[in-house]
Structure 1
Amino acid sequence: MRRVWPLTVRGTGALLLALACFVLASELGVIELVYFGVLLLAVLVAALVSLYLAHRTENVHRALSPDTVTVDRDAEVRVRVGVRTAMPSAPGGWRDTLPKGLTGRAQGVFPSLGSGLRSGDRSVDLHYTVTGVRRGVHAIGPLSVTSSDPFGLTRRQNLLGDRTKVIVVPAVVELASLAAYAGDMGGTQHTTTNQIGQGADNLIARPYTPGDSMRRIHWRATAHADTLMVRQEEQESTPQATVVLDRGALRWASDAMHAPGADPGFERAVSACVSVTARLVQDGYAVDVIDSDGTALAEPIDGGESAEVDDLTRHLATVTTRRDDHLPRLPHLFTGGLTGPVVVITGRFDEEDAVALAPLVHHSVLPVLLAVSPIEDGLTRATQAGWRAAAIRLDDDLGASWATVADRGANRVLG
C-alpha cells in the first residue's frame, strides 16, 4: 500500500504560501509576512495533529452475496465500517484491496462524519461488485480509508479490518439433459422387477392401501396375515454414474500443479467436471466424482441433490494436478460388472491412451470421453473403440461438445 502525502491540494497550497511569505519577508523587509507565514504553518500543524489525536476506532465486516464467487460471474460485496470519532471529519475516500483472483472497482467516497461525543458509534455501509477470474481461496482486504480534517488541509490513510477469505469456485455450464434416455441408461425413469425366487407367490407383499388395483391382491399373503395384502412388484432403481477428473500432471501444463487457476486448460477440465456432475445429478443419477486412480474428490452425490453439487464446487475450488499418471489403469476400477454412465475428463490424449481405455467401454452403458488437448488421432481411435468422444478445447463450446456426445445417435468425434 503506497504512502499518502499528508497534505491535500489546499494544504499543499497553504504550505507553499507560507514558504513564500518567509522568502518575501526577507527580500522586502515586511515583517507582517512572517506572522502570516507562521499562522499558516500553525493551522497546518493543528489540522494534522487533529487527525492523529482524535480518538477514533473502526471495525470492518464484509458479507458476500452469494457467499462464494464463481469464475466469470459477479458477486456483491457489502462492507460495514463501524466508526467512533471525537471530532468531525470531511468526506474522504475508500479502497478495498482485491486479490488477483478477483476483479472489480472497489473504491468510492467515504462520507463526512460529525462528532461522535453524543451520538456514539455509527456505521457506514459500502458496497461494490467483484468478478471471479481465478479459481481458489483468496482474501479481500484490508480496507484503506483516507480521511481529512474539517478544513480539508491534511489527510491520513488508515488500513482497517482484517482480510476476508473468499472462495472462487469453477464455472458451471448448463448442459443438455440425459433424461430422455434415462430408461435405457440407468436413469430415474428406469424401474426393475424385484422377484425373489420363481412365481408370483414369491413377490414381496405389503398391506393394501386405498387406490391399489384389485388385480395386485396377493391372496396367499392375505390369508396368512388376515388382512388384505397386495404385490409390491416394482421398485425404483438407484442409477449410478461416475465422473473421472484426470489430475495426472503429464497431461497438463506444469503451472497446474502449483496453484489453482494457473493453467487455463485444467480450469476448463474442472469446469467440465462440475458441469457434467450437475447435469447428471439433475437427471437423477447418484454420482461419484473420482480421480483417475479411484480416489474420491468429494462425497458421493445423490440424484436431485443440487445443494450437494454446490459443496462439490467448493471442494474443487482448490484442486490441482499431481505427479502420478493413473489414466491407463482406469479400466481396472470397473472390472467385474456393468455400471451406468462414465464420463472421463482429461487433458493430453493420444492413441496409446485410447487403446488403454478401450476395455472400459464394455463396463459402462454410456462411456463419454472429454479431452482438453487431444493430439494425433486419439479421439478417433477412442470413438472406434466405442467411446462418445469430444474435444473441449479453450475455444470450443462446452455445451455443444456435451450435446454431441450425449446425443443418442451420435458416435463420432467433435473437434
Structure 2
Amino acid sequence: MRSGLSGLTIRGRAFLAAGISAIVCAIVLGESSLVRIGGLVVALPLMSAYVIGKARYRFALVRTISPQIIEAGQPARVELQLTNEGRAPTGVLLLEEHLPYVLGNRPRFVLEGIARGWRRHVAYQVRSDIRGRYEIGPMTVRVNDPFGLVELGRSFHTSVPLIVTPRTVPLPPIPLNGALTGSGDNRPRAFAIGSAEDVMVRDYRQGDDLRRVHWRSSARVGELMVRREEQPWQSRATLFIDNRAVAHRGHGVASSLEAAVSAAASVALHLSQRGFAVRLVTAHGEDPSTVWHDRASSTNTTPLLESLAVLESTNQARINTSWMAESSRSGLTVAVLGAVTEKDQAALRRMQLHAASALAIALDVARWESPSTASAHREPSWLSSQGWRSAALGPRDSLATVWQELGRSGASLSVAQVHGQVSG
C-alpha cells in the first residue's frame, strides 16, 4: 500500500485532495449526500494504490543489438522483447531506455496492458559519430492503472555494450617493401648446433598456452620457453600510433588525435586485406589484445579496432620502446605520428632499425590548431634521413592520396638505391 501511495500521479493527488475537501465542506454545511460523493472520490485513488501496490509484477527483458560492433556514422538496431511473467495483467506500460547522449534521444514506448505470458516486441535504432564503447540500458518500465491515478516504476539492471569503431576509408594498393620479412615463429630458421628440439623453442609470450611450455629448455635457460608450431609463413606488420597529448592539437572529433585514430584504423584494415597480421602499438607500448601469437590471423581485425575505439590520449612525454626488446626485426612498421620533436628522434630511429621497412604518416598538427596556418615544413625532415618513407597529412587532406604519396616515395627510394648500387 505504501508503494502504491508513493506512486500517485498528479491526477491521483488531485482526486484525493478534491475528495477530502468535499467531505470537509459537507460536514461544515451538513450535506450528507456530498459526504458520499467525497468518499467515493477519495476511495478511487486509494483503491487503485492498493491494487497496484499489492500486484506482483514480474517482467523479463531480452535486449538484442545487431550488429554489436559498428563503424562511426553507421546505425545499429536494438530489439527489445518484454514478457509479463506475473499473475496479474498490466495496465498501460511506459518503457524508457537509458542511452548515452551521443547515441541520440532516449527511446520511449507506450504499450497497452499485456496479460500473463504475453510478449511485446519493440525496436529502435542508435547511431553515433563518436567512437567509443557505450552501454545501452538499463530500461525503466512504468505501470499505470486504467484511470491514470497511480504510476509505479520498475527498472532492469542489465545493459548491453555497443562498440563504435573509428571511421575508415579504403586505401589504394602501394608497394610495401619488407612485406616478405616475417618474424617470430613464421620465419624459417636454419638448424645450428644442437638437436632440433633445442632449435624449435622460443621465449614465452603473454597469451601462450601453458601446455606448450618446454620444461627442459626452461630449466636450462632459467626462463619459460615454449615449443614452436609448424605453420604456413605469414606476413606481419606493426602499427604504431602516437597518442600522446603533447603531440596533438584540437578537441573532440575535430582533433588531430581523432584523425590519427581514423588513419590507423584505415591502415589496419588495408594491411589485413593484403594478408598481414597486424598488431597495435601506442606510446604506452604494445596493446595486449593485439599481441602476436603463433596463430595470428590476418582476417580478424576486431580486437585491434576495438582497442582503437577506446584509445585515449596519454600524458606521458616520451615514446615507450620497450616492446622492441626482441633482437629480430618486426617486418613492416607503419607509424601514425603527431607533433614529434628532436627528443623523439632516438625512439623513432630505434623503431626504424627494428623494422624491415618503415612508413610514417606525419600529421601536420599545427593546421588543426589553426586551419589557416601554412606550415613551412609539413613533416619532420629528419624522418627521411633516418630511413622512413614519410608523407604529411593535414585536416583537409585525403588519406588515400597521402597513402599513394607514400607509395611513390617508396618507388623513388628503390630507384635511388639501385642507382647507388650501380655507381658503386
Would you call these one fold, judging by a TM-score over 0.5? yes
Paired letter, 1:381: S
Identity of counterpart residues, as a percentage?
Answer: 23
Question: Cα deviations across residues 211-231 of structure 1 (Å, max 9, x unaligned)?
Answer: xxxxxxxxxxxxxxxxxxxxx
Q: Is the 8 A contact 2:7 2:150 kept in 1?
A: yes
Residue number in structure 1 paired with 2:31: 30
**Partner of residue 88, structure 1:** 89
The answer to whether the Cα contact below 8 Å between 2:63 and 2:79 also exists between their aligned partners in 1 is yes
In structure 2, relative to structure 1, the CA distance for the partners of 1:321 and 1:335 (3 Å cut) is farther
CA distance 1:186–1:40, shift in 2 (3 Å): same
Quick one: which of 179, 186, 191 aligns to 2:179? 186
CA distance in 2 between counterparts of 1:238 and 1:83 reads 54
Counterpart Cα distance in 2 of 1:31 and 1:398: 86
AA aligned opposite 1:305: S
Q: Distance in 2 between matches of 1:59 and 1:372?
A: 53
1:170 aligns with 2:165: yes
Is 1:305 aligned to 2:298, yes or no? yes
Q: Does the residue aligned with 1:11 lie in a helix, a strand or coil?
A: helix
Count matched residues: 348
Residues in 2 aligned to 1:125 and 1:267: alpha-carbon distance in whole angstroms: 37
Question: Of 144, 151, 154, which aligns to 2:147?
Answer: 151
**Larger relative strand fraction:** 1
* Stretch of structure 1 that moved more, 376-385 or 91-100: 376-385
Amino acid at match of 1:369: I
2-side partners of 1:238 and 1:138: how far apart? 35
Calculate the TM-score normalised by the size of structure 2.
Answer: 0.66
- 1:67 is matched with 68
SS at match of 2:146: coil
C-alpha deviations, 1:121-143, integer Å up to 9, x for none?
33322322222355444433321
Q: TM-score, normalised by structure 1?
A: 0.67
Q: Is the contact between residue 341 and residue 366 of structure 1 (CA under 8 Å) also seen in structure 2?
A: yes
Write the letter of the residue equivalent to 1:280.
L
- Which amino acid is the alignment partner of residue 313 of structure 1? L
Question: C-alpha offsets along residues 90-141 of structure 1, whole Å, 9 cap, x if unaligned?
Answer: 3231101123564344221133223x3xxxx333223222223554444333
Gap change, CA 1:250 and 1:380, over 3 Å in 2: closer
Distance in 1 of aligned mates of 2:411 and 2:20: 83
Paired residues of 1:248 and 1:323 also in contact (CA < 8 A): yes
Specify whether residues 12 and 102 from structure 1 end up closer, same or farther in structure 2 by C-alpha distance, changes over 3 A only: same
Structure 1 residue 388: deviation in Å?
Answer: 4.4
Q: Label 1:148 to 1:351 Cα distance change in 2 as closer, same or farther (>3 A).
A: same
**For structure 1, which runs of at least 5 residues remain unmatched after alignment?**
189-193, 197-235, 256-260
What is the DSSP-based 3-state SS (H/G/I as helix, E as strand, rest coil) of the residue aligned with 1:56? coil
Give the Cα separation in 2 of the matches to 1:37 and 1:329.
81
1:379 partnered with 2:379: yes
332, 355, 362: which is aligned to 1:370?
362
Which has the higher mean CA deviation after the structures are superposed, 17-26 or 340-349? Answer: 17-26
Q: 5+ unaligned residues in a row in structure 2: which ranges?
A: 182-187, 191-231, 368-374, 413-424
Task: Say what the alpha-carbon RMSD is for the aligned residues.
Answer: 4.2
**Counterpart among 272, 278, 281 of residue 281 in structure 1:** 272
| Residue identity in the other structure for 1:82 | T
Q: CA deviation at 1:403?
A: 4.4
Distance in 2, matches of 1:26 and 1:81, equals 49
Q: Is the 8 Å Cα contact of residues 59 and 85 (structure 2) preserved in structure 1?
A: yes
